[in-house]
């Protein structure tokens, strides 16, 4: 829970910082762009009619020279406020994916040689050392062994098996829940993109209705741009999140099978005679 709250706070802070940074850049760029535009307008008025096509070509070339950052800023502004929610989902999904990839390791699930060492110490009656080894490990397998250790005096083979399986099932459910944010980001981001698309199309139809036959198609560019940009952004977040979620689920399934085998082996070696 603490990790999820920290990732949410970090994502919100990042989204607010991006919004403030882009707003500041836009404010700085407005006065700088106004002077060249005014100069170009004066030159266009003073130019001969035959020079108009040349001026138009020059303006087109200047538009093509937009840097990558400026182009992304334009896309972001076209997307509107929906882009902040999509960005928030992308940060949450990425943070959850990184946390899962870092923690879904053999050492945190079922360390190599742990079962053999625990069985050796258990059969020697060194239960304090078994408990200390489990605390140092901190793995899921160690927590299952700790649970068995607490009930060793009143547990036979069947009871120990049931206790171990119940504890393992709870641990695996918790691991699955920690990956849920990746699935949430993958599901909600295209829906937010669709929401932005609908909002943009509503704005475009409203513009057409307001201007009627006298309208110019160029005035629809902002609304149509919002519709297209949010769709692309939502899909761009959803596809990597789906891929990461699939990898995480496959990794979890692999460790679930491995843990079931390790737990069954420990219980059999500790409580079955012969």
Q: What is the pLDDT of residue 263?
A: 92
Q: What percent of the chain has pLDDT over 70?
A: 68
| pTM, rounded to two decimals | 0.68
Whether residue 249 is predicted with pLDDT greater than 90 in this model: the reply is yes
Q: What is the pLDDT of residue 1?
A: 47
Q: What is the pLDDT of residue 81?
A: 85
User: CA-CA distance, 149 to 19, in Å (whole number)?
Assistant: 54
Q: What is the pLDDT of residue 172?
A: 93
Q: How confident is the model at residue 270 (pLDDT cuts 50, 70, 90)?
A: confident
DSSP string, 122-181: HHTT-HHHHHHHHHHH-SHHHHHHHHHHHTGGG--HHHHHHHHHHHHHHHHHHHHHHTHH
Q: What is the pLDDT of residue 39?
A: 44
Among 252, 262, 32, smallest CA distance to 144 is for 262
Q: What is the pLDDT of residue 154?
A: 73
Cβ-contact 221, 172 below 8 angstroms: no
The domain limits of the chain are 1-65, 80-274
Q: What is the pLDDT of residues 33-46, one digit of tens each?
A: 444 444 444 344 44
């Amino acid at each position: 829970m603490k990790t999820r709250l920290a990732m949410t706070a970090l994502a919100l802070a990042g989204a607010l910082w991006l919004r403030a940074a882009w707003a500041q850049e836009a404010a700085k760029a407005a006065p700088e762009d106004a002077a060249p535009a005014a100069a170009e307008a004066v030159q266009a008025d003073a130019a001969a009619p035959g020079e108009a096509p040349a001026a138009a070509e020059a303006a087109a070339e200047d538009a093509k020279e937009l840097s990558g950052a400026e182009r992304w800023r334009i896309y972001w502004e076209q997307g509107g406020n929906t882009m902040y929610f999509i960005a928030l989902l992308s940060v949450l999904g990425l943070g959850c994916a990184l946390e899962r990839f870092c923690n879904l390791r053999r050492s945190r699930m079922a360390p190599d040689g742990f079962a053999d060492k625990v069985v050796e110490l258990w059969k020697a009656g060194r239960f304090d050392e078994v408990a200390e080894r489990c605390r140092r490990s901190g793995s899921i397998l160690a927590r299952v062994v700790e649970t068995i250790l607490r009930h060793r005096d009143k547990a036979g083979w069947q009871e120990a098996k049931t206790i171990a399986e119940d504890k393992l099932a709870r641990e695996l459910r918790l691991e699955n829940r920690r990956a849920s944010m990746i699935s949430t980001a993958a599901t909600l981001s295209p829906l937010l993109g669709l929401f932005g698309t609908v909002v943009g199309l509503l704005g475009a139809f409203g513009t057409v209705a307001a201007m009627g036959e006298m309208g110019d198609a160029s005035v629809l560019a902002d609304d149509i741009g919002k519709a297209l940009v949010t769709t692309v952004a939502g899909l761009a977040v959803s596809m990597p999140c789906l891929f990461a979620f699939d990898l995480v689920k496959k990794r979890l399934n692999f460790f679930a099978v491995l843990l079931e085998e390790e737990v069954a082996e420990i219980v059999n070696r500790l409580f079955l005679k012969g």
